Amino acid sequence: MSNIRDNTAIFEELPVPRAVMKMAVPTVISQLIVLIYNMADTFFLGRTGNHLMVAGVSLILPIFNISLSISGLAGIGGGALISRLLGKKRPDEARRVYSFCVYLGALTAAVFSLLTLFFMRPLMTALGANSDTYRYASSYAFCVIVCGGVPTVLSNTLANLIRSVGESKKAGFGITMGGVINIILDPIFMFLIMPDGMEVLGAGVATCLSNCAACLYFIVTLARMRSSGGVLRLTSPRELPERASLIGIFTVGVPSSIATLLFDLDYMLIDKLMSGYDDVALAAIGIVLKVERLPLNVGIGICQGMMPIIAYNYSAKNYKRLNETKRFSLILGLTCAVLSIGLYELFARQIMNIFIDDAATAALGTGFLRARVLATVMMFLCFFHVYLFNGFGKGGYALFLGVSRWLVFNIPMLYILNHFFGMYGVVWSQLAADVLTVILSLAVYRIYSKKAFPAEADRSL
């Protein structure tokens, strides 16, 4: 019972900086570990000096991220709703929402894995795989998406649901543990167990096993939480949440998944456009797209830690605490973004050399990285506003901003700048598009806050 009380204190009583940091720090650490273990495959493959292996595995990043978007459907949609229900003091309905989201995450993950298996070749071809990179891309996808899809999605879904009740440390530990196991297993499977030429398969097996281990951790953790009387307890699949709750899950979950899918579509198109130049350009941008996610993942971790506090206090109508949480999270995220830009600009070449021994790939990637990282501040602001609306339960606004960002600004900008400036136009498209997206986001939030909050509530960013 004291555990439940401690979690309520995070939402209601702790000073806002402490509450946000208590929720955000474990989430940021887990986000960074996820990024590191995603980059670990690229790092160890880069030690082989085979840019075809690096390019093949890079092609799978968008598909892997699509599988994570499935976890967002149930995890972010359900997690935001659970926090709001707790703010309304409705733990029984929160329990039904939790159960529904677990079943939903498992089912959608299984369907996605089967579709990937059955349509492997056309999917790889659409992503830009050729005769040289297909065998690497397909073997990695089989391990990570087909065999490891369900535990990967469930791990991330359960992490979001656990975080929604204030247990950010448990959620962060599970994701972190899976990442650390993957980093340890990578060189073992790639260079000790698998023969030469099978390093990609070894990386895929290591990733699959690590995600299975993380999923097992969450199952055990939830069993212990259930015995202590928490709201995260499975009910019968027939015991559905209320109709309004189902709408609430999908109102936030679907826009979150669509935004992630569009994000991945953008990455797929970048890979596709770069593959039209040469394999060196594809390998270089593949490394950059992973490396640039470090500051982005920090920002997402801050937003994910912020969202349950925002959701709880929005439902409790504690607008003062809501705005304090919003302002502190914004300052924290922008500070991290600016520091990241400075570090990447200074050490871009050294970072590229960590991941690839090939001089031509490292040189090209250095220029790519220095250009792409300039968008970090704008990218954080884009995600910040989307997570605010998710916390409010206003998925329509989040969907509008997500669709506008990718379909109206980013993807058209890719083709326009590619046409006029070639491969460097592709690289600069992120900054150009996100400047426009941030302007739109600020305007939409301003309009919403004037309508939604009472006059005495602080509407400023």
* pTM (predicted TM-score): 0.80
Tell me how far apart the alpha carbons of residues 24 and 165 are, in angstroms, rounded to a whole number. Answer: 14
20 neighbors 332 (Cβ within 8 angstroms): yes
Is the model's pLDDT at 114 over the cut of 90? yes
| 457 band by pLDDT with thresholds 50, 70 and 90 | low
Closest CA to 263 of 400, 34, 62, 404: 62
Question: How wide is the angle at C-alpha 202 spanned by C-alphas 214 and 257, nearest 5°?
Answer: 45
pLDDT tens digits, 262-275: 877 887 788 788 87
CA distances from 93 to 81, 220, 239 (A): 10, 23, 10
Query: Across residues 400-408, what is the average pLDDT?
Result: 90
| 6 band by pLDDT with thresholds 50, 70 and 90 | very low
Tokens encoding 336 = 């991290």
Instruction: Tell me the average pLDDT of the chain.
Output: 85
At 3 the pLDDT is 47
Mean pLDDT is lowest, of 28-42, 93-107, 288-302, 391-405, for 28-42
Residue 253 CA from chain centroid, whole number: 13
Q: Which residue has the tokens 């949440």?
A: 241
**How much of the chain, in percent, has pLDDT values that exceed 90?**
30
Tell me how far apart the alpha carbons of residues 377 and 400 are, in angstroms, rounded to a whole number. Answer: 20
Tell me how far apart the alpha carbons of residues 391 and 310 are, in angstroms, rounded to a whole number. Answer: 6
374 neighbors 431 (Cβ within 8 angstroms): yes
Four-residue CA torsion sign, 189, 194, 195, 199: negative
At 256 the pLDDT is 80
How many other C-beta atoms can be found within 10 angstroms of the C-beta atom of residue 111?
13
At 432 the pLDDT is 92
pLDDT tens digits, 236-265: 777 888 999 999 888 888 888 888 778 778
Question: How wide is the angle at C-alpha 53 spanned by C-alphas 48 and 59, nearest 5°?
Answer: 145
Four-residue CA torsion sign, 179, 182, 184, 187: negative
pLDDT tens digits, 335-375: 999 999 999 999 988 888 887 777 888 888 888 999 999 99
| 131 band by pLDDT with thresholds 50, 70 and 90 | confident
238-276 burial string, b = 16+ CB within 10 Å, else e?
eeebeeebbebbbbbbbbbbbbbbbbbbbbbbbbbbbbe
Cα torsion 231, 234, 237, 238 to 10°: value is -50
At 60 the pLDDT is 79
Name, in order, each residue with C-beta under 8 angstroms of 324's C-beta and a sequence gap of 6 or more.
16
At 287 the pLDDT is 82
Rg (CA), the chain: 21
Q: Which residue has the tokens 């929720």?
A: 23
Hey, is 240 helix, strand or coil? Answer: coil
**How much of the chain, in percent, has pLDDT values that exceed 70?**
95
Tell me how far apart the alpha carbons of residues 405 and 384 are, in angstroms, rounded to a whole number. Answer: 13
| 330 band by pLDDT with thresholds 50, 70 and 90 | very high
At 4 the pLDDT is 47
At 428 the pLDDT is 92
Tokens encoding 120 = 């492997």
Tokens encoding 154 = 């469930």
